[in-house]
């Protein structure tokens, strides 16, 4: 449908250009075809340029990259399986040290890493990297532990995660968790 539309618009533009005064000369068939071709090429060039700009323009949809709040009622208990928060692409982990938001992307090749309840570990299904319950590297081809995101806890126990800031780390240390006494 688009090629037909481009052709019709090119013919219309070429016909319009052919009607422009040319010093009293009548426009012939050759001039009409040339003008129609030039009009078509101009339209195709404009559409290609517009498509290229649209392709490179960032298309931010969804919540990832913003500060997201997890209500106190949804925060897991100590030792429970991490909360998988799909809009923010993170797991919220609660351990004896506090809460920790772990980015669910494997640091090896970017696969989404699920938490396996039976093992109490994160296991990459693609290449076999294994991380413990805090997202610290255990084995596999991954070069380091899962990345984290900054966490803030308000007075009511709600947890705000800044998904726009990804922090790399070598392993787990208690200072990475934010105290959570609710």
User: What are phi and psi for residue 164, nearest 5 degrees?
Assistant: -85, -5
pLDDT class for 173, splitting at 50, 70, 90?
confident
How many Cβ atoms from other residues are within 10 Å of residue 19's Cβ? 11
If asked whether residues 103 and 136 sit together in one domain, one would say: yes
The sign of the CA dihedral 157, 76, 114, 148 is positive
In a domain, 132, yes or no: yes
What pLDDT, on the 0 to 100 scale, is given for residue 23? 59
Number of domains in the chain: 2
Single out the residue in 28, 56, 84 at which a domain terminates: 56
Averaged over 38-60, what is the pLDDT? 87
b/e code 21-47 from CB counts within 10 Å (16+ = b)? eeeeeebeeeebeebbeebbeebeeee
> What region, left, alpha or beta, does residue 157 occupy, with left being phi > 0 and alpha being psi -120 to 50 degrees?
left
**Which residues, including other chains, have CB under 8 Å from residue 35's CB and lie 6 or more apart?**
13, 14, 15, 17, 18, 27
Given a cut of 70, is residue 122 above it in pLDDT?
yes
If asked whether residues 79 and 117 sit together in one domain, one would say: yes
Give the structural domain span for 31: 2-56
Structure tokens at 121: 């570990």
Average pLDDT of the chain is: 86
pLDDT class for 1, splitting at 50, 70, 90?
confident
Averaged over 119-124, what is the pLDDT? 88
Residues comprising the chain, all counted:
182
Given a cut of 70, is residue 160 above it in pLDDT?
yes
Task: Specify the CATH number for the domain of residue 87.
Answer: 2.102.10.10
Greatest mean pLDDT among 28-32, 54-58, 69-73 lies in: 69-73
What pLDDT digit, counting tens, does each position of 69-104 carry?
888 888 888 888 899 988 888 999 999 989 999 998
What pLDDT, on the 0 to 100 scale, is given for residue 102? 93
């Amino acid at each position: 449908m688009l090629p037909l539309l481009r052709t019709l618009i090119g013919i219309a533009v070429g016909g319009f250009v052919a009607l422009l005064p040319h010093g009293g000369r009548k426009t012939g068939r050759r001039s009409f075809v040339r003008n129609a071709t030039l009009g078509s090429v101009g339209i195709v060039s404009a559409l290609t340029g517009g498509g290229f700009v649209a392709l490179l323009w960032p298309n931010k949809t969804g919540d990832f990259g913003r500060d997201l709040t997890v209500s106190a009622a949804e925060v897991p208990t100590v030792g429970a399986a991490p909360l998988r928060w799909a809009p923010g692409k993170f797991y919220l982990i609660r351990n004896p040290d506090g809460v920790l938001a772990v980015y669910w992307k494997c640091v090896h090749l970017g696969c989404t890493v699920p938490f396996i309840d039976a093992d109490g570990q994160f296991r990459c299904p693609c290449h076999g990297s294994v991380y413990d319950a805090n997202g610290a590297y255990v084995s596999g081809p991954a070069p380091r532990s899962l990345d984290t995101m900054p966490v803030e806890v308000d007075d009511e126990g709600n947890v705000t995660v800044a998904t726009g800031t990804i922090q790399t780390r070598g392993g787990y240390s208690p200072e990475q968790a934010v105290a959570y006494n609710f």
